[in-house]
Amino acid sequence: MWTNLSRFTPLFLFLAFTGLVFLLRNIFTLEKFDCNTRTALCRIQDTISTAFKPVGPVAVNKDSYCGYSELELSPEEVLEEQYLLDLIAWPEPPVQTPSFQQSTDPAHSFFVILNPSEDLRVGGQLEVLVHMQDFQGQPKQYGGDFLLARIHSPELKAGAAGKVVDHQNGFYSVFFALLWPGELTVSVTLVHPSEAVQVLKRLRQERPDRVYFKSLFRTGYFSETTLCNLCLPASQPLCNYTDPHTGEPWFCYKPKLLSCDSRVNHAKGGYQKHLLTAKEGLLFQSNVNIKVPILASGADHVTVKLQEKNGHSDRGKKTNPDGLTFMPSGFYYQDVWKPTGGRAVRQFNDALSVTQCLKRKVIYLYGDSTVRQWFEYLNALVPGLQEFNLGSPKNVGPFLAVDSAHGIMLKYRCHGPPIRFSTVAASELRYVANELEGIVGGRDVVVAITIWSHFSTFPAEVYIRRLRNIRRAVRRLLARSPRTLVVLKTANVQELGPEVSLYNSDWFSLQLDALLRHMFQGLDVVLVDAWEMTLAHRLPHALHPPALIVKNQVDVFLSHVCPGG
């Protein structure tokens, strides 16, 4: 009997092999296939899938496909874009490749207070002159250095930002409005030498791939991962995920076996390395030329007296006299932000005051993780808010919290790509402009938007287009619901090191911040000046500002939501 059966062994083997091939070819449809009980087959599938995963990022070259460069603009948009690019143009050194020894050295540079012995009073102005020198101790003959400056009184927990004026000859003037009495210390910081800024400009234009992204594609138990970005080398077929409503472009390499419709998620892939030459690397050194203080030649502090009016003093009264070169948007006093113009800031120090302010209101928060901090702060402060578990990954969202007793709904959603979060479901990738189109609006609806950090690796045209789409949607929202409150939160300064500078430098943020402010001028929107609120404060710079600064930002925000006492 066994002898007779052995004659059919080749047939049995052939049928078994044919069945296995048939199963592998059709496994796409077996959504409920149990890998736990068929581990061998799953290992085969994993091997096949892994074979098609990219080994790493591919540098963009002249044959790249860049969606932002292919989009058509109206004549008005062309004029606006050119105006905006001229607005953020940065001075260039006369010598394109100076040696490191010829670059700006903060240790040799110094500043001088021009009027330290004058009778300085609240409401007046302080001027500082900064003289830049190179590592050989020679005066710089050109500008383009990126400086930040502030005045502060540590014992009063007071601080304000200053305005830097580049004379493009190695000298810089810094102007400070004197807003509180007492002893004030001047601090000037070299963020980047002019030579390093030129490297950042080059990277922004030539290496928009220096942060790369990926997406997982899956059908059944077959999966592939491919590279994604706004710019991809045109070396293989692409999946085009350009948004049909806004025209915002985004691309992934097409999987080898799967369709473009099988995309599951979006994630940050990583950071390109080895972007600099050895010579350029010398321009990005911690404690040497990245965010290094410039010391004073002489005194670095002054004493400011109260402004006398009719025999009495006006402590803390807002002043904005004529003749000042610069007036900041606000200043800190006892760690509380005080605006220099516009609506006064109320203090929302407890859950009851916040609850009463947000009663019967819907709050939409859109953007990056710095506005997600507002959601986290409010959700932690107000006990009545109950966060719903939407199955969202931690730190990604979307998030929803509701206080049904007081009719409060608080929502957070991240903006669309480029977004550097760990993993975002493809179905949750929403552009802010599209989300705004779905809001009815009204007197009890508040929208807060921040969108900047994730655009620092791309040419400015990419950010301009994104803001243009958001601006268009904001205009339509305010046209149909004029009583809707729209709030924009600006960029903020952050801690920098050699590597972070190449992807998220404050110089990139400063440029994006300038574009945001100008593009939304004239619209009925509120600006929360996170740039000055982080620059003026005594706490260290951080991408995600500490709770004390977030509290002040939220107080400004809520003061516009609920302006009454």
* Domain contains 540: yes
* pLDDT score recorded for residue 323: 60
User: Residue 432, SS3?
Assistant: helix
pLDDT tier for residue 231 given thresholds of 50, 70 and 90? confident
* pLDDT score recorded for residue 52: 39
Contact 346, 559 (CB under 8 A): yes
The phi and psi torsions of 155 (rounded to 5 degrees) equal -70, -25
Are residues 297 and 265 both part of a single domain? no
* Listed range (50-59, 343-352, 359-368, 405-414) with the worst mean pLDDT: 50-59
What digits encode the pLDDT tens for the residues 445-471? 999 999 999 999 999 999 999 999 999
Collect all residues with Cβ–Cβ distance below 8 Å to 475 and sequence separation of at least 6: 523
Q: Which domain holds residue 291?
A: 100-192+282-304
* Domain contains 33: no
pLDDT tier for residue 565 given thresholds of 50, 70 and 90? low
* Listed range (20-34, 241-255, 516-530) with the worst mean pLDDT: 20-34
Are residues 257 and 356 both part of a single domain? no
What digits encode the pLDDT tens for the residues 174-210? 999 999 999 999 999 999 999 999 999 999 999 999 9
The closest alpha carbon to 530, from 293, 364, 319, 330, belongs to 330
Are residues 299 and 338 both part of a single domain? no
Cis peptide before 417 (omega within 30 of 0): no
* Domain contains 363: yes
User: Residue 467, SS3?
Assistant: helix
* pLDDT score recorded for residue 317: 43
Which of 271, 293, 319 corresponds to the end of one domain? 271
* pLDDT score recorded for residue 59: 52
* pLDDT score recorded for residue 73: 87
Checking if the pLDDT of 10 tops 90, the result is no
Contact 287, 256 (CB under 8 A): no
Are residues 353 and 218 both part of a single domain? no
Q: Could you tell me the CATH number of the domain that includes residue 543?
A: 3.40.50.1110
Are residues 383 and 490 both part of a single domain? yes
Contact 507, 191 (CB under 8 A): yes
Q: What percent of the chain has pLDDT over 90?
A: 78
* pLDDT score recorded for residue 96: 73
- Tell me the two tokens of residue 115: 């009027």
Checking if the pLDDT of 475 tops 50, the result is yes
What digits encode the pLDDT tens for the residues 106-144? 999 999 999 877 889 999 999 999 999 999 999 999 999
Are residues 234 and 163 both part of a single domain? no
Average pLDDT, integer, range 530-538 = 98
Average pLDDT, integer, range 318-322 = 46
* Domain contains 318: no
Average pLDDT, integer, range 372-397 = 92
* Domain contains 324: no
Are residues 392 and 407 both part of a single domain? yes
Domains: count for the chain: 3
Q: Could you tell me the CATH number of the domain that includes residue 294?
A: 2.60.40.10
pLDDT tier for residue 65 given thresholds of 50, 70 and 90? low
**Better-scored residue on pLDDT, 391 or 131:** 131
Question: Considering Cα of 53, then 243, then 434, then 469, what sign does the dihedral take?
Answer: positive
* Domain contains 87: no
* pLDDT score recorded for residue 3: 45
* Domain contains 357: yes
How far is Cα 542 from Cα 305, in angstroms, rounded to an integer? 33
Contact 127, 99 (CB under 8 A): no
* Domain contains 41: no
Are residues 299 and 372 both part of a single domain? no
Checking if the pLDDT of 40 tops 50, the result is no
* pLDDT score recorded for residue 7: 57
Q: In the predicted model, what is the mean pLDDT of the chain? A: 88
User: Residue 440, SS3?
Assistant: coil
* pLDDT score recorded for residue 309: 67
Are residues 444 and 465 both part of a single domain? yes
Are residues 288 and 379 both part of a single domain? no
How far is Cα 447 from Cα 339, in angstroms, rounded to an integer? 21
How far is Cα 488 from Cα 364, in angstroms, rounded to an integer? 12
Which of 246, 271, 296 corresponds to the end of one domain? 271
Are residues 182 and 118 both part of a single domain? yes
Are residues 166 and 226 both part of a single domain? no
The closest alpha carbon to 447, from 383, 365, 539, 367, belongs to 365
**Better-scored residue on pLDDT, 234 or 474:** 474
The closest alpha carbon to 502, from 106, 88, 149, 201, belongs to 201
